[in-house]
Structure 1
Amino acid sequence: MNLFITIVSLLGTITIFYISKMIYKKNKKEWLSPILITPLVIICILLLTGIPYKSYNTGATVLTNLLGPATVAFAIPIYKNVNLLKKHAFEIFISIAVGSAVAIVSSFIMAIMVGLNDELVHSLVPRSVTTPIAMDISNMIGGSPTLTAVFVMTTGILGSLLAPILIKICRFHRPSSKGLLLGMGAHGTGTSKAFEFGELEGTFASLAMIVAALISIVLSTTIFPVFEHLVINILLP
Protein backbone atom coordinates (compact mmCIF):
# COMPACT_ATOMS: atom_id res chain seq x y z
CA MET A 1 0.00 0.00 0.00
CA ASN A 2 2.81 2.39 0.90
CA LEU A 3 4.55 1.65 -2.40
CA PHE A 4 1.30 2.35 -4.26
CA ILE A 5 0.88 5.72 -2.52
CA THR A 6 4.52 6.55 -3.25
CA ILE A 7 4.12 5.89 -6.97
CA VAL A 8 0.76 7.67 -7.18
CA SER A 9 2.03 10.72 -5.29
CA LEU A 10 5.03 11.07 -7.61
CA LEU A 11 3.16 10.53 -10.88
CA GLY A 12 0.15 12.47 -9.63
CA THR A 13 2.22 15.54 -8.76
CA ILE A 14 3.88 15.51 -12.18
CA THR A 15 0.53 15.05 -13.94
CA ILE A 16 -1.15 17.88 -12.02
CA PHE A 17 1.76 20.19 -12.78
CA TYR A 18 1.73 19.51 -16.52
CA ILE A 19 -2.05 19.86 -16.76
CA SER A 20 -1.90 23.20 -14.93
CA LYS A 21 1.00 24.23 -17.17
CA MET A 22 -1.09 23.50 -20.29
CA ILE A 23 -3.96 25.54 -18.89
CA TYR A 24 -1.58 28.40 -18.09
CA LYS A 25 -0.18 28.43 -21.62
CA LYS A 26 -3.68 28.85 -23.06
CA ASN A 27 -4.75 31.44 -20.48
CA LYS A 28 -1.87 33.68 -19.40
CA LYS A 29 -3.45 34.66 -16.11
CA GLU A 30 -1.15 35.13 -13.11
CA TRP A 31 -3.51 33.32 -10.77
CA LEU A 32 -3.39 30.26 -13.06
CA SER A 33 0.37 29.85 -12.61
CA PRO A 34 1.33 26.16 -12.17
CA ILE A 35 3.40 27.14 -9.13
CA LEU A 36 0.20 28.32 -7.45
CA ILE A 37 -2.36 25.85 -8.81
CA THR A 38 -0.33 22.63 -8.33
CA PRO A 39 0.11 22.86 -4.52
CA LEU A 40 -3.49 24.01 -4.06
CA VAL A 41 -4.84 21.02 -6.00
CA ILE A 42 -2.56 18.63 -4.11
CA ILE A 43 -3.65 20.06 -0.75
CA CYS A 44 -7.31 19.63 -1.70
CA ILE A 45 -6.73 16.03 -2.81
CA LEU A 46 -4.90 15.16 0.43
CA LEU A 47 -7.68 16.69 2.52
CA LEU A 48 -10.44 14.92 0.58
CA THR A 49 -8.74 11.51 0.54
CA GLY A 50 -7.33 11.69 4.06
CA ILE A 51 -3.84 10.70 2.89
CA PRO A 52 -1.25 11.88 5.46
CA TYR A 53 1.34 14.34 4.17
CA LYS A 54 4.17 12.01 5.26
CA SER A 55 2.79 9.23 3.07
CA TYR A 56 2.42 11.58 0.11
CA ASN A 57 5.90 13.00 0.62
CA THR A 58 7.57 9.56 0.34
CA GLY A 59 7.05 9.84 -3.42
CA ALA A 60 7.11 13.60 -3.85
CA THR A 61 10.46 13.84 -2.04
CA VAL A 62 12.06 12.61 -5.27
CA LEU A 63 11.04 15.91 -6.87
CA THR A 64 12.33 17.85 -3.86
CA ASN A 65 15.73 16.21 -4.26
CA LEU A 66 15.86 17.49 -7.84
CA LEU A 67 15.80 21.11 -6.66
CA GLY A 68 19.57 21.10 -6.29
CA PRO A 69 20.37 19.93 -9.84
CA ALA A 70 17.66 22.22 -11.20
CA THR A 71 19.29 25.20 -9.50
CA VAL A 72 22.69 24.25 -10.95
CA ALA A 73 21.10 24.03 -14.42
CA PHE A 74 20.41 27.77 -14.28
CA ALA A 75 24.14 28.25 -14.78
CA ILE A 76 23.77 27.36 -18.48
CA PRO A 77 22.19 30.67 -19.61
CA ILE A 78 24.68 32.49 -17.39
CA TYR A 79 27.55 30.86 -19.26
CA LYS A 80 25.98 31.75 -22.62
CA ASN A 81 25.77 35.44 -21.69
CA VAL A 82 28.87 35.72 -19.52
CA ASN A 83 30.29 38.72 -21.44
CA LEU A 84 27.13 40.75 -20.86
CA LEU A 85 27.15 39.88 -17.19
CA LYS A 86 30.81 40.87 -16.84
CA LYS A 87 29.99 44.26 -18.33
CA HIS A 88 27.48 44.97 -15.57
CA ALA A 89 29.20 42.98 -12.80
CA PHE A 90 29.54 45.85 -10.30
CA GLU A 91 25.94 47.04 -10.61
CA ILE A 92 24.66 43.48 -10.38
CA PHE A 93 26.68 42.64 -7.28
CA ILE A 94 25.75 45.83 -5.42
CA SER A 95 22.04 45.50 -6.18
CA ILE A 96 21.93 41.85 -5.14
CA ALA A 97 23.99 42.48 -1.99
CA VAL A 98 21.62 45.27 -0.94
CA GLY A 99 18.60 43.13 -1.81
CA SER A 100 19.91 40.19 0.24
CA ALA A 101 20.62 42.39 3.26
CA VAL A 102 17.18 44.03 3.06
CA ALA A 103 15.49 40.61 2.75
CA ILE A 104 17.22 39.28 5.87
CA VAL A 105 16.70 42.41 7.97
CA SER A 106 13.07 42.92 6.93
CA SER A 107 12.23 39.26 7.59
CA PHE A 108 13.79 39.43 11.05
CA ILE A 109 12.09 42.71 11.99
CA MET A 110 8.73 41.49 10.68
CA ALA A 111 9.05 38.25 12.69
CA ILE A 112 9.98 40.14 15.87
CA MET A 113 7.10 42.61 15.45
CA VAL A 114 4.48 39.85 15.22
CA GLY A 115 5.98 38.04 18.20
CA LEU A 116 7.25 34.83 16.60
CA ASN A 117 9.43 32.50 18.68
CA ASP A 118 13.13 31.98 17.98
CA GLU A 119 12.65 28.92 15.78
CA LEU A 120 10.11 30.67 13.56
CA VAL A 121 12.26 33.79 13.39
CA HIS A 122 15.29 31.82 12.23
CA SER A 123 13.12 29.85 9.81
CA LEU A 124 11.77 33.01 8.22
CA VAL A 125 15.08 34.87 7.82
CA PRO A 126 16.35 32.92 4.73
CA ARG A 127 12.97 33.05 2.93
CA SER A 128 14.38 35.01 -0.04
CA VAL A 129 16.87 32.30 -1.04
CA THR A 130 16.28 29.29 -3.27
CA THR A 131 14.89 26.33 -1.30
CA PRO A 132 17.88 23.92 -0.99
CA ILE A 133 20.23 26.64 0.23
CA ALA A 134 17.57 28.34 2.37
CA MET A 135 16.99 25.06 4.22
CA ASP A 136 20.73 24.72 4.89
CA ILE A 137 20.94 28.31 6.16
CA SER A 138 17.92 27.72 8.38
CA ASN A 139 19.56 24.66 9.88
CA MET A 140 22.80 26.58 10.53
CA ILE A 141 21.13 29.48 12.37
CA GLY A 142 18.72 27.38 14.43
CA GLY A 143 15.57 27.38 12.33
CA SER A 144 13.38 24.59 11.00
CA PRO A 145 14.28 23.62 7.40
CA THR A 146 10.74 22.34 6.81
CA LEU A 147 9.16 25.63 7.87
CA THR A 148 11.74 27.53 5.85
CA ALA A 149 10.74 25.57 2.74
CA VAL A 150 7.14 26.71 3.28
CA PHE A 151 8.21 30.34 3.71
CA VAL A 152 10.41 30.15 0.60
CA MET A 153 7.60 28.68 -1.46
CA THR A 154 5.16 31.35 -0.27
CA THR A 155 7.68 34.11 -1.03
CA GLY A 156 8.35 32.67 -4.49
CA ILE A 157 4.68 32.37 -5.40
CA LEU A 158 3.75 35.84 -4.16
CA GLY A 159 6.86 37.33 -5.76
CA SER A 160 6.18 35.80 -9.16
CA LEU A 161 2.57 37.01 -9.00
CA LEU A 162 3.34 40.57 -7.86
CA ALA A 163 6.56 41.20 -9.80
CA PRO A 164 4.91 41.53 -13.25
CA ILE A 165 2.50 44.08 -11.77
CA LEU A 166 5.40 45.99 -10.21
CA ILE A 167 7.30 45.88 -13.51
CA LYS A 168 4.35 47.49 -15.28
CA ILE A 169 3.80 50.13 -12.60
CA CYS A 170 7.49 51.10 -12.45
CA ARG A 171 7.83 50.79 -16.24
CA PHE A 172 10.92 48.60 -16.19
CA HIS A 173 12.07 48.02 -19.76
CA ARG A 174 15.61 46.70 -19.42
CA PRO A 175 16.05 42.92 -19.26
CA SER A 176 18.53 43.38 -16.40
CA SER A 177 15.98 45.26 -14.25
CA LYS A 178 13.25 42.70 -14.81
CA GLY A 179 15.54 39.73 -14.31
CA LEU A 180 17.27 40.98 -11.17
CA LEU A 181 13.92 41.92 -9.63
CA LEU A 182 12.44 38.47 -10.24
CA GLY A 183 15.55 36.51 -9.31
CA MET A 184 16.18 38.43 -6.10
CA GLY A 185 12.57 38.77 -5.02
CA ALA A 186 11.22 35.33 -5.96
CA HIS A 187 14.34 33.14 -6.48
CA GLY A 188 13.60 29.92 -8.44
CA THR A 189 9.95 30.67 -9.08
CA GLY A 190 10.82 34.19 -10.18
CA THR A 191 13.56 32.91 -12.46
CA SER A 192 11.09 30.64 -14.23
CA LYS A 193 8.79 33.63 -14.61
CA ALA A 194 11.68 35.74 -15.93
CA PHE A 195 12.28 33.28 -18.77
CA GLU A 196 8.72 33.98 -19.90
CA PHE A 197 9.83 37.57 -20.57
CA GLY A 198 12.93 36.45 -22.49
CA GLU A 199 16.29 34.69 -22.31
CA LEU A 200 18.17 37.75 -21.07
CA GLU A 201 15.66 38.36 -18.31
CA GLY A 202 15.99 34.73 -17.29
CA THR A 203 19.77 34.96 -17.37
CA PHE A 204 19.86 37.96 -15.05
CA ALA A 205 17.31 36.28 -12.77
CA SER A 206 19.43 33.10 -12.64
CA LEU A 207 22.49 35.11 -11.69
CA ALA A 208 20.56 37.06 -9.05
CA MET A 209 19.24 33.86 -7.49
CA ILE A 210 22.66 32.20 -7.32
CA VAL A 211 24.59 35.25 -6.11
CA ALA A 212 21.87 36.09 -3.58
CA ALA A 213 22.16 32.59 -2.16
CA LEU A 214 25.93 32.92 -1.73
CA ILE A 215 25.69 36.38 -0.19
CA SER A 216 22.88 35.28 2.12
CA ILE A 217 24.99 32.40 3.44
CA VAL A 218 27.72 34.85 4.41
CA LEU A 219 25.34 37.46 5.88
CA SER A 220 23.24 34.92 7.79
CA THR A 221 26.23 33.33 9.52
CA THR A 222 28.29 36.48 10.20
CA ILE A 223 26.38 39.79 10.19
CA PHE A 224 22.94 38.46 11.17
CA PRO A 225 23.93 36.99 14.58
CA VAL A 226 25.47 40.34 15.53
CA PHE A 227 22.42 42.25 14.29
CA GLU A 228 20.09 39.87 16.15
CA HIS A 229 22.03 40.31 19.39
CA LEU A 230 21.99 44.10 18.97
CA VAL A 231 18.24 44.28 18.40
CA ILE A 232 17.16 41.81 21.08
CA ASN A 233 19.57 42.75 23.87
CA ILE A 234 20.06 46.47 23.29
CA LEU A 235 17.18 47.93 21.27
CA LEU A 236 14.51 45.61 22.76
CA PRO A 237 15.71 44.82 26.30
Structure 2
Amino acid sequence: MSVEHPGLFWFTATLAAYVVSRIVHHYTKSFLTSPLLLTCVLCLALTVGLHASYREYMRGGQWLLLLLGPATVAFALPIYEHRALLRRYWPTLVLGVGFGCALAFGGTWLLSGLLDLPRDVRLSVLPRSFTTPFAMAFAKDVGGAPDLAAVCVIATGILGASLGGMLLKVLPLRCALARGAMLGMGAHGAGVARAREIGDEEGAVAGLVMILAGVTCALLGPAVALFES
Protein backbone atom coordinates (compact mmCIF):
# COMPACT_ATOMS: atom_id res chain seq x y z
CA MET A 1 0.00 0.00 0.00
CA SER A 2 1.51 3.32 -1.07
CA VAL A 3 1.59 6.37 1.21
CA GLU A 4 1.31 9.81 -0.31
CA HIS A 5 4.05 12.25 0.63
CA PRO A 6 3.71 16.05 0.82
CA GLY A 7 5.14 18.36 -1.79
CA LEU A 8 7.90 19.49 0.57
CA PHE A 9 9.20 15.92 0.71
CA TRP A 10 9.61 15.71 -3.06
CA PHE A 11 11.09 19.18 -3.24
CA THR A 12 13.71 18.29 -0.62
CA ALA A 13 14.36 14.89 -2.16
CA THR A 14 15.01 16.45 -5.57
CA LEU A 15 17.47 18.97 -4.13
CA ALA A 16 19.23 16.21 -2.18
CA ALA A 17 19.48 14.07 -5.31
CA TYR A 18 21.01 17.00 -7.19
CA VAL A 19 23.58 17.65 -4.45
CA VAL A 20 24.56 13.98 -4.43
CA SER A 21 24.80 14.01 -8.21
CA ARG A 22 27.09 17.04 -8.18
CA ILE A 23 29.40 15.35 -5.69
CA VAL A 24 29.51 12.12 -7.67
CA HIS A 25 30.12 13.97 -10.95
CA HIS A 26 32.90 16.02 -9.35
CA TYR A 27 34.90 12.85 -8.71
CA THR A 28 33.98 10.82 -11.80
CA LYS A 29 33.79 13.48 -14.56
CA SER A 30 31.71 11.12 -16.69
CA PHE A 31 28.69 12.08 -18.78
CA LEU A 32 26.92 9.09 -17.24
CA THR A 33 27.08 10.86 -13.87
CA SER A 34 26.03 14.24 -15.22
CA PRO A 35 23.82 15.94 -12.59
CA LEU A 36 21.06 16.35 -15.17
CA LEU A 37 21.00 12.60 -15.83
CA LEU A 38 21.85 11.23 -12.39
CA THR A 39 19.33 13.44 -10.61
CA CYS A 40 16.57 12.16 -12.89
CA VAL A 41 17.64 8.56 -12.29
CA LEU A 42 17.70 9.00 -8.50
CA CYS A 43 14.30 10.71 -8.45
CA LEU A 44 12.84 8.05 -10.72
CA ALA A 45 14.19 5.30 -8.47
CA LEU A 46 12.69 7.03 -5.44
CA THR A 47 9.24 7.42 -7.00
CA VAL A 48 9.24 3.79 -8.13
CA GLY A 49 10.42 2.60 -4.72
CA LEU A 50 7.70 4.56 -2.94
CA HIS A 51 5.05 3.66 -5.56
CA ALA A 52 4.41 7.35 -6.17
CA SER A 53 2.78 8.75 -9.28
CA TYR A 54 4.12 11.57 -11.40
CA ARG A 55 1.25 13.77 -10.23
CA GLU A 56 2.30 13.22 -6.62
CA TYR A 57 5.92 14.03 -7.39
CA MET A 58 4.98 17.27 -9.13
CA ARG A 59 3.41 18.60 -5.94
CA GLY A 60 6.95 19.50 -4.97
CA GLY A 61 8.59 19.38 -8.38
CA GLN A 62 6.44 22.23 -9.66
CA TRP A 63 8.23 24.63 -7.28
CA LEU A 64 11.49 23.88 -9.06
CA LEU A 65 9.77 24.11 -12.43
CA LEU A 66 8.83 27.71 -11.67
CA LEU A 67 12.54 28.56 -11.35
CA LEU A 68 13.32 27.64 -14.96
CA GLY A 69 12.35 31.08 -16.22
CA PRO A 70 14.55 33.04 -13.78
CA ALA A 71 17.39 30.57 -14.34
CA THR A 72 17.29 31.27 -18.07
CA VAL A 73 17.23 35.04 -17.50
CA ALA A 74 20.31 34.70 -15.27
CA PHE A 75 22.36 33.85 -18.37
CA ALA A 76 22.12 37.56 -19.21
CA LEU A 77 24.96 38.35 -16.76
CA PRO A 78 27.83 36.68 -18.66
CA ILE A 79 26.33 37.98 -21.90
CA TYR A 80 26.49 41.54 -20.54
CA GLU A 81 30.03 41.09 -19.32
CA HIS A 82 31.17 40.09 -22.83
CA ARG A 83 28.86 42.41 -24.77
CA ALA A 84 31.74 43.87 -26.80
CA LEU A 85 32.58 40.45 -28.27
CA LEU A 86 28.93 39.69 -28.99
CA ARG A 87 28.32 43.12 -30.54
CA ARG A 88 31.22 42.57 -32.89
CA TYR A 89 30.05 39.19 -34.17
CA TRP A 90 26.26 39.51 -33.97
CA PRO A 91 25.63 38.99 -37.74
CA THR A 92 27.53 35.71 -37.63
CA LEU A 93 25.68 34.60 -34.50
CA VAL A 94 22.25 35.43 -35.91
CA LEU A 95 23.04 33.56 -39.13
CA GLY A 96 24.37 30.58 -37.19
CA VAL A 97 21.34 30.45 -34.91
CA GLY A 98 18.98 30.61 -37.88
CA PHE A 99 20.76 27.74 -39.59
CA GLY A 100 20.95 25.76 -36.34
CA CYS A 101 17.24 26.16 -35.64
CA ALA A 102 16.33 25.12 -39.18
CA LEU A 103 18.56 22.07 -38.90
CA ALA A 104 17.19 21.14 -35.46
CA PHE A 105 13.54 21.47 -36.47
CA GLY A 106 14.03 19.91 -39.89
CA GLY A 107 16.05 16.93 -38.68
CA THR A 108 13.65 16.18 -35.85
CA TRP A 109 10.61 16.54 -38.10
CA LEU A 110 12.11 14.20 -40.71
CA LEU A 111 13.13 11.56 -38.17
CA SER A 112 9.73 11.72 -36.44
CA GLY A 113 8.05 11.16 -39.79
CA LEU A 114 10.29 8.21 -40.63
CA LEU A 115 9.50 6.64 -37.24
CA ASP A 116 5.78 7.34 -37.77
CA LEU A 117 5.39 8.91 -34.33
CA PRO A 118 1.92 10.03 -33.21
CA ARG A 119 1.14 13.72 -33.70
CA ASP A 120 1.31 14.68 -30.01
CA VAL A 121 4.63 12.86 -29.57
CA ARG A 122 6.06 14.45 -32.71
CA LEU A 123 5.14 17.93 -31.51
CA SER A 124 6.66 17.19 -28.10
CA VAL A 125 9.96 16.01 -29.57
CA LEU A 126 10.20 18.88 -32.06
CA PRO A 127 11.64 21.51 -29.64
CA ARG A 128 14.21 19.11 -28.14
CA SER A 129 17.13 21.34 -29.20
CA PHE A 130 15.92 24.35 -27.23
CA THR A 131 16.22 25.09 -23.53
CA THR A 132 13.51 23.71 -21.25
CA PRO A 133 11.32 26.81 -20.58
CA PHE A 134 11.00 27.57 -24.29
CA ALA A 135 10.54 23.92 -25.26
CA MET A 136 7.77 23.34 -22.72
CA ALA A 137 5.95 26.51 -23.77
CA PHE A 138 6.29 25.51 -27.42
CA ALA A 139 4.92 22.01 -26.79
CA LYS A 140 1.97 23.42 -24.86
CA ASP A 141 1.13 25.93 -27.60
CA VAL A 142 1.20 23.41 -30.46
CA GLY A 143 -0.68 20.61 -28.71
CA GLY A 144 2.22 18.47 -27.51
CA ALA A 145 3.11 17.27 -24.00
CA PRO A 146 5.32 19.78 -22.12
CA ASP A 147 6.63 17.12 -19.72
CA LEU A 148 7.72 14.89 -22.58
CA ALA A 149 9.35 17.88 -24.25
CA ALA A 150 11.34 18.52 -21.07
CA VAL A 151 12.59 14.91 -21.04
CA CYS A 152 13.70 15.20 -24.67
CA VAL A 153 15.48 18.48 -23.90
CA ILE A 154 17.38 16.89 -21.00
CA ALA A 155 18.42 13.90 -23.11
CA THR A 156 19.56 16.17 -25.95
CA GLY A 157 21.48 18.42 -23.56
CA ILE A 158 23.36 15.57 -21.90
CA LEU A 159 24.30 13.91 -25.18
CA GLY A 160 25.10 17.23 -26.84
CA ALA A 161 27.36 18.43 -24.04
CA SER A 162 29.17 15.09 -23.90
CA LEU A 163 29.61 14.68 -27.66
CA GLY A 164 30.39 18.38 -28.01
CA GLY A 165 33.33 18.05 -25.65
CA MET A 166 34.63 15.16 -27.74
CA LEU A 167 34.17 17.08 -30.99
CA LEU A 168 36.13 20.03 -29.66
CA LYS A 169 39.14 17.73 -29.38
CA VAL A 170 38.82 16.75 -33.04
CA LEU A 171 37.49 19.80 -34.89
CA PRO A 172 39.86 22.73 -35.53
CA LEU A 173 37.73 25.28 -33.65
CA ARG A 174 40.24 27.67 -32.14
CA CYS A 175 38.12 30.77 -31.45
CA ALA A 176 35.80 31.18 -28.47
CA LEU A 177 32.94 32.21 -30.77
CA ALA A 178 32.88 28.91 -32.66
CA ARG A 179 33.29 26.72 -29.58
CA GLY A 180 30.62 28.53 -27.57
CA ALA A 181 28.13 28.69 -30.45
CA MET A 182 28.44 24.96 -31.12
CA LEU A 183 27.76 24.02 -27.51
CA GLY A 184 25.00 26.59 -27.00
CA MET A 185 23.10 25.53 -30.12
CA GLY A 186 23.70 21.82 -29.81
CA ALA A 187 23.19 21.31 -26.08
CA HIS A 188 21.41 24.45 -24.73
CA GLY A 189 21.68 24.69 -20.91
CA ALA A 190 24.00 21.72 -20.50
CA GLY A 191 26.09 23.08 -23.34
CA VAL A 192 26.36 26.47 -21.65
CA ALA A 193 27.59 24.80 -18.47
CA ARG A 194 30.15 22.84 -20.50
CA ALA A 195 31.23 25.98 -22.34
CA ARG A 196 31.73 27.84 -19.05
CA GLU A 197 34.14 25.10 -18.02
CA ILE A 198 36.19 25.87 -21.13
CA GLY A 199 36.23 29.65 -20.74
CA ASP A 200 34.21 32.75 -19.89
CA GLU A 201 33.93 33.91 -23.49
CA GLU A 202 32.75 30.49 -24.64
CA GLY A 203 30.15 30.52 -21.88
CA ALA A 204 28.89 33.98 -22.82
CA VAL A 205 28.55 33.08 -26.50
CA ALA A 206 26.87 29.77 -25.66
CA GLY A 207 24.37 31.54 -23.40
CA LEU A 208 23.50 34.09 -26.07
CA VAL A 209 23.07 31.42 -28.74
CA MET A 210 20.88 29.35 -26.41
CA ILE A 211 18.62 32.31 -25.67
CA LEU A 212 18.38 33.39 -29.32
CA ALA A 213 17.51 29.83 -30.30
CA GLY A 214 14.85 29.70 -27.58
CA VAL A 215 13.26 32.94 -28.75
CA THR A 216 13.27 31.63 -32.31
CA CYS A 217 11.59 28.45 -31.09
CA ALA A 218 8.89 30.50 -29.34
CA LEU A 219 8.25 32.59 -32.44
CA LEU A 220 7.92 29.50 -34.62
CA GLY A 221 5.36 27.91 -32.27
CA PRO A 222 2.24 29.61 -33.71
CA ALA A 223 3.31 28.83 -37.28
CA VAL A 224 3.82 25.16 -36.46
CA ALA A 225 0.47 25.01 -34.64
CA LEU A 226 -1.26 26.55 -37.68
CA PHE A 227 0.46 24.11 -40.03
CA GLU A 228 -0.56 21.12 -37.89
CA SER A 229 -4.17 22.21 -37.41
Partner of 2:52, secondary structure, is coil
What letter is aligned with 2:44?
Answer: I
Q: For residues 196 and 222 of structure 1, do their structure 2 counterparts lie closer, same or farther at Cα, with a shift above 3 Å needed?
A: same
**In structure 1, what is the Cα distance between the partners aligned to 2:46 and 2:184?**
31
**In structure 2, what is the Cα distance between the partners aligned to 1:38 and 1:25?**
14
Partner of 1:222, secondary structure, is helix
**In structure 2, what is the Cα distance between the partners aligned to 1:57 and 1:49?**
14
1:133-148 equivalence runs, <5 A: 133-148=134-149
Question: Is this contact kept in 1: 2:123–2:144, CA < 8 A?
Answer: yes
- What residue is the counterpart of 1:163 in the other structure? 164
- What residue is the counterpart of 2:122 in the other structure? 121
Question: Is this contact kept in 1: 2:180–2:201, CA < 8 A?
Answer: yes
Instruction: Compute the TM-score of the two structures, normalised by the length of structure 1.
Output: 0.89
1:29-178 equivalence runs, <5 A: 29-178=30-179
Q: For residues 223 and 118 of structure 1, do their structure 2 counterparts lie closer, same or farther at Cα, with a shift above 3 Å needed?
A: closer
Q: Percent identity?
A: 33
Q: CA RMSD, aligned part only? A: 1.9
- What residue is the counterpart of 1:5 in the other structure? 6
Question: Is this contact kept in 2: 1:101–1:219, CA < 8 A?
Answer: no
Q: Deviations over 1:90-120 (max 9, x none)?
A: 1111011100011011111110100011111
**In structure 2, what is the Cα distance between the partners aligned to 1:132 and 1:220?**
13
Structure 1: which 5+ runs fail to align?
230-237
Partner of 2:6, secondary structure, is helix
**In structure 2, what is the Cα distance between the partners aligned to 1:211 and 1:39?**
27
What letter is aligned with 1:122?
Answer: L
**In structure 1, what is the Cα distance between the partners aligned to 2:172 and 2:50?**
46
Q: Number of matched residues?
A: 227
Question: Which of 186-195 and 82-91 deviates more?
Answer: 186-195
Q: Deviations over 1:174-222 (max 9, x none)?
A: 2222211111111112112211112111101100110001122233433
1:205-224 equivalence runs, <5 A: 205-222=206-223
Question: Which of 80-89 and 143-152 deviates more?
Answer: 143-152
Structure 2: which 5+ runs fail to align?
none
Cα offset for 1:171?
3.6
